[in-house]
Amino acid sequence: MELYGKVGAWMDDHKEAMVEDIKRLVRIDSVSRPGTDGTPFGTGCLRALEEMLAIGREHGFHCENHGDIVGSIGGQEKDWENLIGFWSHLDVVPTGNGWENGPFEPVVKERFLIGRGVQDNKGPAVGILYVMQCLRELKVPLRHELCLFVGTDEERGMEDMEYYTAHYPAPKLSITPDSGFPVCYGEKGIIEGQMVTEDRVSSRVVDAGGGNASNMIPDRAWALVEDSGALRRELERLLGQGGVAPERVAEGTGDTAAAAGRGDGAAGGMGAGKISYEIESGGIRITAYGTSKHSAAPHGSVNAIHELCVFLENMTSLSENDRQLFGRIGWLTREYDGEETGIAYRDEVSGQTTCAGTVLAMEEGRLSLTLNIRYAITAKDQENIEALGAYGVSNGLDWRLERNSGPNYFPKEHPAVDTLTRVYNELTGSQAESYVIGGGTYARKLPNAFSYGPGGMKESDEDREARERMFAPGHGGGHEPDEALNLRLFLEALKIYACAIVALNDVEL
């Protein structure tokens, strides 16, 4: 395809400038922190929004700031009935632990750009801007107008989209570059809330915590317990005198697992975790280590909260009450399909409901576990909520619903779905089909919206070898430590995007 070649040459010429623009955004810590510093979602999110709009102006687009919450980059006058909007977000998930490089100190190593947000979703935001500029400079005729929108609260709750859709018009068709290719036409519903123990732990348990965000499987969880001779002796017996450094911690198939009563590793097939302890002024800190993944696809991760709680449940030096309370949380985090809470469900459209415990906290002596649930599109949300409440009542837990974001379903029969899928397959030689995800994107908050790339590109043998050489398991992906963007694949994805936009000339919005 002639256009593909022209776009490829243009992208190659602008690759270095694009990488530098992405770095400008990645250097900003833009975790959404609402209500801080007098800004909607924190100073970092506002700085990222202002920087993105500055980049847009530098590239010759008209940019608008909508309430310090959402930005738009496109033409000054918009025909909303003929407008295709691309929706990216500039907020990021918390950094977590285990980074080899500073999460906000972007660096290129071999073919990868590394830093928090390079995949999700600062890189794609800049990439779409360059696609729009490329089509403009190549003078490619377009039937539909284009505009890039950037938000600042996608990862936390999408209040930015609720604000925007309440105050401003929406494009006729909206596409979010926040998934894998080809078209993602559906998203599971999302329920978030807390299971809180009705009883309190004893004063010996000073504090406990774990996890950084609701949509991340935690890779670390801890409990600070009042020092005692009995506790020290039991920990020394299980883990060695003086504790075990994180890089040398006992594997779950050894003494740690035996202490927890599960010699075959973590329950539910989630894999073996690791435990260490250290003595400090406030007591003894017991820490569990796992592997993080996005909570929309949690299988294969090791939930550190589960590892911690099951270990503590089997500590004979703790009181029976404390052991039981930690055991309830440990039991609740033993699997990811909702079997325990009675919400397990699968449909042909979107697959299995998932239920993950992601954040552990203490509230006035009560243990609190955040549940992040991605329910199948045809599941009944109210039935799920009622089942969670009933589970809590039966197990000495108080269920507190925080939010329920309904699923998104864009008609699979819409010609845009077939067109964009066909373009992807023709340019890559694939036979991929449109699909549904468990993740949540802006598409669920916008009318006539779906997701399309830029992820999911097929890696070459060289790509895989480089990834395996550079990144430890559980590193390099979105929401993971050392989040990395394969620049070769990213440029290929942008070429596909440009050709797909032109192909939409033949589609009625």
Q: Summarize pLDDT for 152-178 with one digit per residue, the tens.
A: 999 998 999 999 999 999 999 999 999
List all residues 6 or more positions away from 473 whose beta carbon is below 8 Å from its beta carbon.
291
Q: Which of 168, 176, 163, 159 is nearest to 125 (CA)?
A: 176
Is residue 502's pLDDT more than 70? yes
Please provide the average confidence, as pLDDT, over all residues in the chain.
92
Kindly indicate the confidence band of residue 258, based on its pLDDT and cuts at 50, 70 and 90.
very low
pLDDT at 35: 85
Q: How many CB atoms lie within 10 A of CB 252?
A: 27
Kindly indicate the confidence band of residue 260, based on its pLDDT and cuts at 50, 70 and 90.
very low
Name the pTM for this structure: 0.78
Q: What percent of the chain has pLDDT over 70?
A: 94
The alpha carbon of residue 100 and the mean position of all alpha carbons in its chain are separated, in whole angstroms, by 20
Taking residues 476-491, report their average pLDDT.
95
Strand partners, 455: 180
Domains of the chain, each with CATH number or no CATH: 2-188+408-506 (3.40.630.10), 190-405 (3.30.70.360)
Strand partners, 92: 31
Kindly indicate the confidence band of residue 244, based on its pLDDT and cuts at 50, 70 and 90.
low
Sort strands 435-437 and 183-187 into parallel, antiparallel or unpaired: parallel
pLDDT at 270: 41
Q: Which residue has the tokens 């600070």?
A: 224
d(CA 272, CA 436): 30
Taking residues 222-245, report their average pLDDT.
86
Question: Per the structure block, which two tokens stand in for 237?
Answer: 């017996």
pLDDT at 241: 67
d(CA 245, CA 370): 28
Yes or no: say if 199 and 398 are a contact pair by the CB < 8 Å rule. no
pLDDT at 191: 97
pLDDT tens-digit profile of 280-305? 988 999 999 999 889 999 999 999 99
List all residues 6 or more positions away from 248 whose beta carbon is below 8 Å from its beta carbon.
none
d(CA 414, CA 423): 15
Helix (H, G, I), strand (E, B) or coil at 239: helix
Taking residues 85-109, report their average pLDDT.
95
